[in-house]
Structure 1
Amino acid sequence: MTALSRLLNGCPLLPIIQTETPQQAVDIAAALAQGGVSAVEVVLRTPKALDAISAIRSALPSVLVGAGTVLNAAQAQDCKDAGAQFLVSPASTPALLQAMIDTGLPLAPGVSTVSEMAMAHEMGLNELKFFPANLSGGTPMLNAVRSILQQVRFCPTGGISAANLTEYLSLPNVFVVGGSWLTPADLVKAGDYTAITALTAESVRLANVCLAEKSAPLRKSA
């Protein structure tokens, strides 16, 4: 099973798409891609979510498409069948984790406690979604678990915005940040894809500056 970080290949942002129609999903994904994002997560919160995954895969082959809000084995398989390239869940149970593993897709199961992190780690999963990030302790929590779970890295989601994304990305155990701040409901409803592109471009700029600073000490030590 390929690690999600390897699939993302350095993409620092994982925006969430919640949409009512497949065409709207394609338009949102295109706006995000134009702003510099190479991967998106379509959440299973609307009846057309699976169709949206398939539509983005077909219309935008250069964009990686994952499925979020996966809650059971049936959904995990349905997402794979729809063309999802990775899976994300908001929570973790042994049965759900095993079902996601069985698809063979890269994944980031949701955790918020040290016990959940340890359970996922026991099952060989070392790239986890930290959710809801801000409500679960934010960056202090992720700093606190670094020495305990040294192999585990995180995708914080929940309360992430342009105002705090660099606080998370600067942590050694964070490989990407996710959220819906790039696809606010009012802009999606208005079809203002130019504004979505602008929001994305600014967040990508902030993320790239942060990642350059993060890697600078590594380059000096080498």
Structure 2
Amino acid sequence: MSERQTRAAELLRTAGVLPVITVHSLDEARAIADALLEGGLNTLELTLRTPVAIEALAMLKRERSGIVIGAGTVLSEENIRASIDAGADFLVTPGTPAALADALAAADIPVVPGAATPTEFMALRERGFRNCKLFPASAVGGLAMLKGLAGPLHDMRFCPTGGISESNAAEFLSQPNVLCIGGSWMLDKAWLAAGDYARVRETTARAAQIVRDVRAN
């Protein structure tokens, strides 16, 4: 467990920004992944919210060398098994009830369990988790919540997701207890609908630059 948690921390810190993507076809998955990779982000969270998600995950792992994919919106043991079988590099949940937490603890790849309250994070900590997703970050206090958690849960690190944008990304990423930030601002639905992947690539490049700038200070 500790080795997988160390690996989870490494994956998140290396990513800096974790684009959260939802795909409706294999072609869309390829186009989004290529725009993200060309923009400078090689780690993404692919949500299991559509029928094609697992197939898309497996396809991207086969076809795009160097890509790191976390299976997101993992809600069940079935999701865990399917994601691992498809080649997921790590797992991410939006929330983590006890049964799911136990299943994640037994998984043989890195996991980033999600929670929204100190009590939930304490329960995850008791199971050995030290790197978690704060979701929905802005709705539950955003920066104030992260600063509040830093004292009592000083050995935990977070990937806040939900309500983060290009305008506040640096401020979130600058928090000492933040390893990574999740978001979909570089994947505007209007751009995707129009096939404007150049905009996705440009916004992704700015996101990658934010990571470099924050880490340089």
Paired residue for 1:10?
14
Paired residue for 1:158?
162
Unaligned runs of 5+ in 2: none
Does residue 201 in structure 1 map to residue 215 in structure 2?
no
1:39-78 map, 5 Å: 39-78=43-82
Unaligned runs of 5+ in 1: 214-222
- Structure 1 residues 8 and 60: alpha-carbon distance in aligned structure 2, compared to 1, 3 A threshold: farther
Does residue 32 in structure 1 map to residue 32 in structure 2?
no
1:33-182 map, 5 Å: 33-182=37-186
The total of aligned residue pairs comes to 213
Between the aligned partners of 2:59 and 2:191, the Cα distance in structure 1 is: 21
Between the aligned partners of 1:124 and 1:30, the Cα distance in structure 2 is: 35
The superposition leaves residues 80-125 of structure 1 with CA deviations (integer Å, 9 ceiling, x where unpaired) of: 1111110000001111011122221111111110000100000000
What secondary structure, in the 3-state scheme, does the structure 2 residue paired with 1:46 have? Answer: coil
- The question of whether the paired residues in 2 share the 8 Å contact of 1:23 and 1:55 is answered with no
The superposition leaves residues 101-160 of structure 1 with CA deviations (integer Å, 9 ceiling, x where unpaired) of: 222111111111000010000000000000000001101111011110111000000001
Deviation at 1:9, TM superposition (A): 5.3
Paired residue for 1:216?
none
What secondary structure, in the 3-state scheme, does the structure 1 residue paired with 2:119 have? Answer: helix
What secondary structure, in the 3-state scheme, does the structure 2 residue paired with 1:16 have? Answer: strand
Between the aligned partners of 1:46 and 1:102, the Cα distance in structure 2 is: 25
What secondary structure, in the 3-state scheme, does the structure 2 residue paired with 1:87 have? Answer: strand
Deviation at 1:174, TM superposition (A): 0.2
Report the RMSD for the aligned CA atoms in angstroms: 1.1
- The question of whether the paired residues in 2 share the 8 Å contact of 1:131 and 1:156 is answered with yes
Identity of paired residues, percent? 37
Between the aligned partners of 1:9 and 1:159, the Cα distance in structure 2 is: 20
Deviation at 1:164, TM superposition (A): 0.5
Between the aligned partners of 2:43 and 2:71, the Cα distance in structure 1 is: 11
What secondary structure, in the 3-state scheme, does the structure 1 residue paired with 2:80 have? Answer: helix
Aligned-partner residue type, residue 6 of structure 1: E
The superposition leaves residues 164-213 of structure 1 with CA deviations (integer Å, 9 ceiling, x where unpaired) of: 11111100000000011111111112221111000000111122111211
